[in-house]
Structures are given as C-alpha cells and as structure tokens.
Chains A and B, each alone.
Chain A
Amino acid sequence: MKDIYILAYAQNPIVADAKAANEVELIMPVVHQVFKQTGFTQNDIGFTCSGSCDYLQGAAFAFVEGLSAIQTNPPIKESHVEMDAAWALYESILKIQMGDAETALIYGFGKSSPGDLPFVSTLQTDPYYMSPLWPDKTSLAALQAQLLMNKGVLTKKDMYEALTQSISNAKNNSNALVTAMPSEDDYLSADYLSSPLSAFDCAPISDGASAMIIGTEEAATKLGLQKIKISSVHHSIESSNFGARDLSTSESIIGLGKKINLKSFKPDFVELHTQFTYEIPFIRGLLDLGNVDINLSGGPLAGNVMMAAGLDSIGKSFELLKNNDFHSGLAHASSGPCLQQNMLVHLEKIND
C-alpha cells in the first residue's frame, strides 16, 4: 500500500443562498485556491473526481456542467460520485493505490437553496417502498433521535450542549454560516419541525463548494509542505430498509471504529459529519470517544454544504493538524438517512 497525503484543501465561504451563482461559479474559486496552495496546474493532476447531486439545485447534468470550472484540454482522467465528495476522495485514493495516478483533485459542491432539501433528500431512499411515502430527511432523523431518547442513550440537554459547542467552535472557521448562539430557553421552547427536533437541531440550508488535492509520498515530498498523511480510511453501509436496521445503534459506525482500530490511537480531535444535534452525542458514545473535542471547526451545524460537508470534515481535520500542535485526527463522513453510510479517516502529522 502506498502512503497518501493531503496536499491542499479549500472551502468557499458557506452562504444560505448563493443567489444566481451556478455550479461552475461555485467550484472555480476553490479549485483555483488548491492550485495556488500547491503551485500545481491541472496538468499536474493525475485524476479528478467530484461529488455532487443534481437533484439539489434541480439542474439535470449539473455535475457535467461543473467540469467547465476546470481545465480539460488536454483531456483529463475524470470521474464523479452522486454522493458526498468524501467518497470522491475515497475513489481517488483507490485510483492512486492502483497506480493509475500520483495526484488527485477532488471537489464537491452543493446548492440546496433552490429546492426543499428535506424532501429532495427523500429521493435518496429506496424508490420502491420508501420514497413513494415521502419520508423527509428531518422526520427520519427525528425518528432516530426519539428512539435514542426513549432508550436513555441521550437527552435533549446533550443535544443542546452539542449545538452550543458547535456554534462556539464555529468562530475557528471564517467560512462558517451560523455563529448566533441560542439561549437554552430559546432552544427548549422552539417549535418542533418533527418531534423531538426543532430548526436548532438541524444543520442550516447551505450553498458552497470545497476542493482538495491528495498525492503520493513523492508528490508530498516534492512540495516541501507539512506532511499530513491519510493513515487509514474505511467506509461501510447499512440496509436501505429502515425496518431491517436497529436505529438505536449503528453497526456501520461501530464496525468502522474496529476496522480503523480506534483502540490503537488517541485522536487529538474528531470532526464529525453530523447534520443533526443528536448525532454528536450518539457517535461519541458509539465510538467511545470520551471527552475528546468534537467539531472544532463548528462542523455541519455551523454550515452544511450538501455533497461537500463530508469532505469538509476531512479537510478541516487536515487544517487543524497543519495549523496546531496536534498529531492525530479522526474525520467522519456520512451519507443517507439516519447515518446509513459512514466513513472514518485517520489523519496523522508526519515529521521528517
């Protein structure tokens, strides 16, 4: 196995409404930023992979149009996942491991403001038995949150603490969308969108884009920057049939904790791709994370660009390692309702 390093990462300021901007105009600034950080041009990139979902902005083939943001002459090797760009990163890692590329450019973009996100997300569910019933994303999360509360796994107070910690941490991320701290009274008296979740418990509707460049040890050494290594990465998915899952736990997340051998290292921080408040105490318990800092970047509760937020948790971990006296970080990405699919990434700072 080759050692693979993150070489650069950039994120657009997250906005509630990107107005007229199209996918090209969202993607191009972040791609140019990662090129600036590395001194690379598209000619230095061996493989390009993006993550996005055309249903978000309601534009068919937006993922193809988005390619107009990058130089495609001479022709490039390119792929796309209809998923969060964390999985575009995963595909890029496989491409490098197979020897098809030395470097990869990854980008994700999402414009959720033009549609009704909770119902757009319904189309991620099983098309035969589930999506015709139109279960929306918030209601499905509420189902899991209520179950966890009923079982005594977490309380509304835990959810409030997860929220305030996230908003407080958001000051570390100049691109964060939400920085206003709600009082406990405001939080507890807010109307439910779907019991037990109010708007405070849900990540905000966000527009934006992020990009990352990864490369082999040789590429990282050539750059001469602080080396941040992707030491381990695993992902797993559970059934699309909610009835076949025990929503009070997560086989996927617990299994990934074992696969990544979380017992063998102690991360200095954890960045979780958590789009609802309850998911933070839930995953803290599932992975037995103790009192380690979670979402020092503010995480998705402070700004949640669909199809980029998972890549952001990995990108923010890269930045935290690069800019602080940290040595080891754990990043998480998720996809699908009720944390159906998950990815864990162990990042380490390598000193030569």
Chain B
Amino acid sequence: MTEEKKDFFVSNISLSYQYTAGNATTRFLNKVAEGKLVAQKCPKCSAVYVPPRGSCPRCGVATEEELELPDTGAVESFTIVHIPIPGNPIVPPYVSAMIRLDGADISFLHLIQEIDLADIRIGMRVQAVWKDRSEWGTTLENIKWFKPTGEADVDPSVFKFKE
C-alpha cells in the first residue's frame, strides 16, 4: 500500500495561562463576592473608578483609597443587540449598556433587562438585579442585569468627566 501524500497538516495553536487580575482588581473582586461594589479614588483629582485597576490614568498615580458605591446608577450609553453571538446564552434582542454607578466617574458594560426595548434611553435610572447569594463568586456576573427604577432620568451632562 502506498502512503498517501499529504500537502498540508493542521497545527492547532493554544497556550494556557494562570491569568491574574491585578492586586487592585483582586481587592474589588473579593468585595464583589460579598455583594459590595468597592470603587477606588484618585488622591490627586478625586476621580472615582469602578471597576478599579489600581491607578488613575489621568494622573498616573495609584488609587489606594476605597469607597463602597450603591448598586444604582444611570445609562450612559447603550446598544440593542440583534445578532446572536456563538456561545452566548442570552437570546437577542437584548440591551448592552454602559452603566455609570452613582458616585463613579467611569462606566462599565452590563445588561439591562425587565424593560421594553423601545423605552431604553440615555440617562435612564437603573439598579442591579443580583443573583441568588448562593451563586455569588469573584465576578461581576453576580449581577444578573440592571433594571429601570422608574425614577426621573438624569441629565446626560453629568456623564462629562469632571476636570
């Protein structure tokens, strides 16, 4: 039997890592596991970062002071996702939004549910809906999604980064 001639072969590329989040973000994630959202404040410009990465990128200094923020905030920006993403269990259409927690100077990405898609708007007040406490871990997925609170909208000018 003659050996089959091969013109190509498949070589998979994969590398495995012990990824770490950083000392500052680790402190944040350990608090998230207790249901708390703990921000960090810049000692120079007083900007409040959540999730914190341990530095103020405006000033280039470490953010050591920590402060707990409420789980309420407002929609700074949003998009309605209509296209399914492979492996993502959420069924479109759904809302992905940048959420600015009350007292924070940056926003983070999360879901908004329990809302009619036609009603979503910038400035809308929202609050976190947490998973059952038994399911909490060191992840922002402890928050299932945010839902509208029904309070009056905030003026979008509050999202401007304070100088």
Contacts and interface: CB of A to CB of B under 8 A. Distances in A.
A42 B21 CA distance: 26
Contact of A72 (B16, B57, B61): B57
A57 B17 contact: yes
Interface stretch (B23-31, B95-103, B122-130, B139-147): B23-31
Given A20-B23, A69-B55, A133-B11, A42 B60 contact: yes
Contact of A69 (B15, B16, B23, B60): B60
Contact of B59 (A71, A123, A134): A71
B13 interface: yes
Interface residues of B, number: 24
Contacts of B154: none
A57 B18 CA distance: 8
Interface of B: 9, 11, 13, 15-26, 53-55, 57-62
Interface residues of A, number: 32
Contact of B25 (A22, A55, A132): A22
A2 B160 CA distance: 43
Given A68-B53, A68-B57, 16 more contacts: A22-B23, A22-B25, A22-B54, A24-B24, A24-B55, A25-B22, A28-B55, A28-B60, A57-B17, A57-B20, A58-B17, A70-B60, A115-B16, A120-B15, A123-B15, A133-B11
Contacts of B17: 57-58, 114-115
Say what secondary structure dominates the interface of chain B: loop
B147 to A, nearest CB: 31
20 contacts: A20-B23, A21-B20, A22-B25, A25-B55, A28-B55, A28-B60, A42-B60, A57-B19, A57-B20, A68-B53, A69-B55, A70-B60, A71-B59, A72-B60, A113-B18, A114-B19, A115-B15, A116-B15, A120-B15, A132-B13
A8 to B, nearest CB: 16
B46 to A, nearest CB: 14
